[in-house]
Amino acid sequence: MKDLITIGLPSKGRLKDNAISFFNDRGLKILQSEKERNYFGTIENKPNIKIIFLHAKEIIQRLGDGTLDIGVSGLDLLKESDINLQGKINIQRKLDFGNANLVIAVPDDWIDVQTIADLEEVSFDIRSKRNARLRVATKYPNLTNNFLISKGVTQYKLIPSLGATETYPFIGSSEIITDITSTGKTLADNNLRLLKDGLILSSNACLLFAKKKATKLQPFLKSFG
Amino acid sequence: MKSKKLSETIIKTFKTNGFVLSEPDVLLDSDYIIERSGEKFRSSMLTFDREDGKTMCLRPDLTVASCISFLQKKTSSKIYYSGQAYRRSGGKGTNFINDQLGIEILGSKNKIQDDFKVINTILSSAKKIKRKKILIKVGDISLFKSLINSLDMPERWKLRLIRHFWKPSYFEELLKRLEKNTDIDAVTFDADKKRFYEMKKLDQDKVVAGRSISEILKRFDKKIKDPRSFVDGKKIVKIITSFLKINCKLSELDEKLLDFAKKNNLKKLNQDVNFIANFGRDVEYYTGIVFEVFSGKNEIARGGRYDDLLKSLGAKKNIPAVGAAINLKNI
């Protein structure tokens, strides 16, 4: 079908539910397969639209390679992705769910560290005393790197993490972390604290589309404002 | 062909002056370099993963590679290198390969003599390849440090300015803040006194995320005592910028510096050094004299003293060093 539009939606959790409501609220009723674990869906009375449920990170990738035309995913994941990939994706609009902040967190007991400037000094301390670099564990190496360098912090080393990053400072895998948080509870429960000027990115869910398909999608996208 | 002949002429001069060929490894341990040079280096390195999981990189720079080779005791201390270094330099379509040709004195004991030796060797090679009028620009990073240390401002500001001197754009930002007296720490400083006293009772050797309790409390204490605000930001910025404007012939330098010192009453600047102040500010590891050799408008060589690099690359003690490289592209 020539005018087929493929939309990628998050496959799990609140992000999935909110994304579905967003379409439903605009009269685009999403129909999911009766098979509970099936990844495909449709929109009522719109035979030219195909819905695919994917991991939020995957949605960014597939928008970039043209598999998807439209997608809902997090701003954090878009900004973290490869710069060439970002160039292929446009933000149609920000959505009012999926709010979360990417922040720097340090152990509660580092009472002398309240700001990035403190962190910068401590990183030099570690460098001169132990000839090592301050280790920063993160799931967001690109955003973290750009942020720290822009704030004049240079004496650090990134430790890539896949999950439970909050444990890293206490098991000797890193000194500090950056992580995504919406309420701050997980950080607090794990004896971590935010820096006063340590907000890297304020993220939320976004309606995205593949730049290449802009002309074809314009009539459809208009209805979302 | 022409450039090959040029290199040969230059190398001949290096050898005559007692420098011995160093052939550092092309493949280096990427983690080792990042550990020592920072994340910023990572994006410019060309890396690949070995089968055993180790990440290797092509040598990004011959000074660093030669230092590593020296530390592995593969070379003598007075060396020259001639070869390729590999790194990305931003921008599309730029070349990954940099031909580097240079000299280093690693473990340089007589600083003044060795600085002179390096500059002189580079200068005589420059003269051999007959060019337009040759001009040398010289600076000294350590003089900037003495200046900052002689000024009356909170300790953390001194450290900041010294640490970021090699990043001119960020340095400018710092000066603006200093001028307006807006401290980066301006956010209200919560003296978490209660926790401070609780922690004082804990085992002081206990380690929290790599830092001992005593280390944390010591810095906390120091921070409280370091004044949060001070009045003279504007005056200090003026002194720093007027210092960075010094740019004169060697023969006029004494007078200029003296004038500068007099005007600002900086008696501690009593140094017998010759230079252009705002200089050599793009390489993090320089610590002392820095220089560039120009032929007409082209920079054909540059170098400087880097007394801390070898230690940061893993040497057990400080090994002072000085070196320079010829810029073949501009010859």
Q: Is residue B201's pLDDT more than 60?
A: yes
Mean pLDDT value across residues B202-214: 92
Q: What is the pTM of this model?
A: 0.76
Nearest to A121 among B159, B196, B217 (CB): B159
> What's the number of CA atoms in the CB half-sphere (13 Å) around residue B186?
8
Q: Is residue B81's pLDDT more than 50?
A: yes
A157 to B35: CB separation less than 8 angstroms, yes or no: yes
Please give the C-alpha separations between residue B3 and each of B7, B73, B221, B296, B330, in angstroms, as whole numbers.
6, 32, 60, 19, 11
By the 8 A CB rule, do B138 and B274 touch? yes
Collect all residues from B whose CB is shorter than 8 A from any CB in A: 34-35, 38-40, 43, 156, 159-160, 163-164, 167, 170, 174, 184-185, 187, 189-190, 192, 195-196, 199, 208-211, 213, 215-217, 219-220, 223, 284, 311-312, 314
A124 to B163: CB separation less than 8 angstroms, yes or no: yes
Where are chain A's structural domains? 5-99+204-222, 100-203
pLDDT class of B269 with cuts at 50, 70, 90: very low
Could you read off the pLDDT of B11-62 as tens digits, one per residue? 999 999 999 999 999 999 988 887 776 676 777 889 999 999 899 999 988 9
**Fold equal for A5-99+204-222 and A100-203:** yes
Nearest to A111 among B156, B196, B284 (CB): B196
**Contacts of residue A82 in chain B, CB cutoff 8 Å?**
none
Domain A100-203 indexed as CATH 3.40.50.300? no
How many other CB atoms are there within 10 angstroms of residue A37's CB atom? 7
Residue B91's pLDDT is 60
Single out the residue of B45, B42, B32, B40 nearest to residue B86, CA to CA: B45
Residue B268's pLDDT is 39
DSSP string, A124-162: HHHHHHHS--EEEEES-HHHHHHHHHHTT--SEEEEE-S
Residue B70's pLDDT is 92
By the 8 A CB rule, do B261 and B98 touch? no
One-letter amino acid at B259 equals: D
- Among all residues of chain B, which has the CA nearest to that of A106? B209
Q: Domains along chain B?
A: 2-131 (3.30.930.10)
- Structural domain A5-99+204-222, CATH architecture: 3-Layer(aba) Sandwich (3.40)
ipTM: 0.80
Residue B211's pLDDT is 94
d(CA A157, CA A145): 9
d(CA B311, CA A130): 11
d(CA B256, CA B185): 36
Q: Which of A106, A111, A174 to mutate to test the interface with B (most CBs of B within 10 A)?
A: A111
Nearest to B38 among A118, A133, A175 (CB): A133
A112 to B38: CB separation less than 8 angstroms, yes or no: no
Could you read off the pLDDT of B87-139 as tens digits, one per residue? 887 666 667 888 889 999 998 888 888 888 888 898 888 878 766 777 777 77
Query: Which residues are within 8 A (CB) of A218 and not within 5 positions of it... i.e. 6 or more apart?
Result: none
Residue B256's pLDDT is 67
Residue B32's pLDDT is 84
**Contacts of residue B216 in chain A, CB cutoff 8 Å?**
109-112
SS3 content of chain B, % helix, strand, coil (to 5): 45, 20, 35
A109 to B159: CB separation less than 8 angstroms, yes or no: no
More confident residue, A82 or B316: A82
By the 8 A CB rule, do B322 and B305 touch? yes
Count of A-B CB contacts under 8 Å: 93
Nearest to A169 among B159, B163, B209 (CB): B209
Please give the C-alpha separations between residue A175 and each of A132, B26, B156, in angstroms, as whole numbers.
11, 32, 22
- Among all residues of chain B, which has the CA nearest to that of A145? B39
From first to last of its 225 residues, chain A has per-residue pLDDT tens of 568 999 999 999 899 999 999 999 999 999 988 887 789 999 999 999 999 999 999 999 999 999 999 999 999 999 999 989 999 999 999 999 999 999 999 999 999 898 898 899 899 888 888 878 899 999 999 999 999 988 888 889 899 999 999 999 999 999 999 999 999 999 999 999 999 899 999 999 999 999 999 999 998 998 887
